[in-house]
Amino acid sequence: MIRFPDDFVWGSSTSGPQSEGRLPDDGKGDNTWDYWFRQAPEKFHNQVGPEVTSTFYEHYETDLDYLLETGHTAFRTSIQWSRLIPDGDGEVNPKAVDFYRKVFEGVKARGIELLVNLYHFDLPMALELKGGWVERSTVLAYERYARLCFEMFGDLVDRWITFNEPIVPVECGYFYQLHYPATVDPKAGIQVAYHTQLASSLAVKACHELIPDSKIGIVLNLTPAYPRSQHPADVKAARIAELFQAKSFLDPSVKGAYPQELIDLIRMHDLTPAYQAEDLEVIRENCVDYLGVNYYQPLRVAAPRYAANPEAPFFPSVYFDHYEMPGRKMNPHRGWEIYERGVYDIAQNLKKNYGNIEWLLTENGMGVEGEEKFRKNGQIQDDYRIEFIKGHLLELHRAIQEGANCKGYLVWTFIDCWSWLNSYKNRYGLVELDLTDQSRRIKKSGLWFKQLSQNNGF
């Protein structure tokens, strides 16, 4: 029997834009995803957009019962900025206040620890039209939004989160064209990254001022970068890949300062963002209380085979090539490598290099396309998901035994949810969502997860 510490929590993560849906009279404003889907529905898998998602807005009362049926002792979701403040920086939507208070009260009434994220890739479109995160005004609007959330919901939330995976909108919005504004503009991307970190630090400051007994953190996808070999060129490639992918937010969030090597690289490419001297003091003095860590697959890199084109726009990948390790273990339904050891390596890094900061594994899960083919007698028999979770928990348990300061495990996700350009292509939930009638059915993994939670191990 693998047992976890007595205070360890079990649950799942989701987000507002991926689960709530939208009704004509709910007062919600557009975010970038609402707008982009109307402009280019062909970009979204099967042309399924964010209008409906998992209808949590309509069905939250019964959906919260599924938390108990699947053994949750913790639950993470997010507030949609564009639902609470439709234009991003104006009047508060009273229907949103009522909705979120009822949801949060429902979670607490069921004896479940509540983690609430302020931002999950969903900028109000009104702010995007003014320049979005490139503009400092968005930082100030976010700070106001965060303060309002702390004032309105601080009595209900156990742990706050400033941003989910903030490197993702930078990479996908300004390099790889997978998030709006879907452009290639490295200078803007670096500015967005900097403004996001500043906004996070300002939210930490506000939280500590307004609700000093609450904990506030940031959720980062700390994908370890593994070199192809121990050749110095491969090792350097992995180090720089991790600088951009992980340390760009990890170091300022936990240590209060950016790595000097990253600063030097950005300066060398003439991409230093606009900033004010007092910003660096804000970042230095307002570090997070804990971390959320998301982990799905490793990042394997090698030294680049070819020199970069000096006339092409800057991409961090000029310093490394992606590398497919021979014989790697795969999720054949998603095309991602499964490498459970990554959880252990993340834990060791946080213990050795980041003061053994308190953290939770806030996302870990297995996406499967065409999951309905595994249905037997009306239930998805997702033994593959159970084995995936077990494998990662073995490595997490090993790390905790060696002193890792991890306080919980949250699977992605609760009920099958909408996932950006992939829509519902890949399913991750403990609970199946039928898109034809929005009915829910617990998968085999959901019943197993309840046993896991009740036994505090397996």
Residue 165 annotated to the active site? yes
CA atoms within 13 A on the CB side of 407: 15
Report which of 97, 205, 206 is spatially closest to residue 156, judged by C-alpha positions: 97
> Which is the catalytic residue, given 113, 128, 363, 371?
363
Q: Which of 165, 340, 371, 432 is catalytic?
A: 165
The CB density around residue 256, as the number of other CB atoms within 10 Å, is: 17
The question of whether 20 is a catalytic residue gets the answer no
Residue 431: CA atoms inside 13 Å, Cβ hemisphere, count? Answer: 27
Q: At what angle do helices 56-69 and 444-455 cross, to 10 degrees?
A: 50
Closest CA to 174 of 17, 321, 313: 313
Residues 6+ apart with CB under 8 A from 419: 18, 425, 426, 428
Write out the chain in H/E/C secondary structure: CCECCCCCEEEEECCHHHHCCCCCCCCCCCEHHHHHHHHCHHHCHHHCCCCCCCCHHHHHHHHHHHHHHCCCCEEEEECCHHHHCCCCCCCCCHHHHHHHHHHHHHHHHCCCEEEEECCCCCCEHHHHCCCHHHCHHHHHHHHHHHHHHHHHHCCCCCEEEEEECCHHHHHHHHCCCCCCCCCCCHHHHHHHHHHHHHHHHHHHHHHHHHCCCCEEEEEECCCCEEECCCCHHHHHHHHHHHHHHHHHHHHHHHCCCCCHHHHHHHHHCCCCCCCCHHHHHHHHHCCCCEEEEECCCCEEEECCCCCCCCCCCCCHHHHCEECCCCCCCEECCCCEECCCHHHHHHHHHHHHHCCCCCEEEEECCCCEECHHHHEECCEECCHHHHHHHHHHHHHHHHHHHCCCCEEEEEEECCECCCCHHHCCCEECCCEEECCCCCCEEECHHHHHHHHHHHHCEC
Query: Which residues are catalytically annotated?
Result: 165, 363
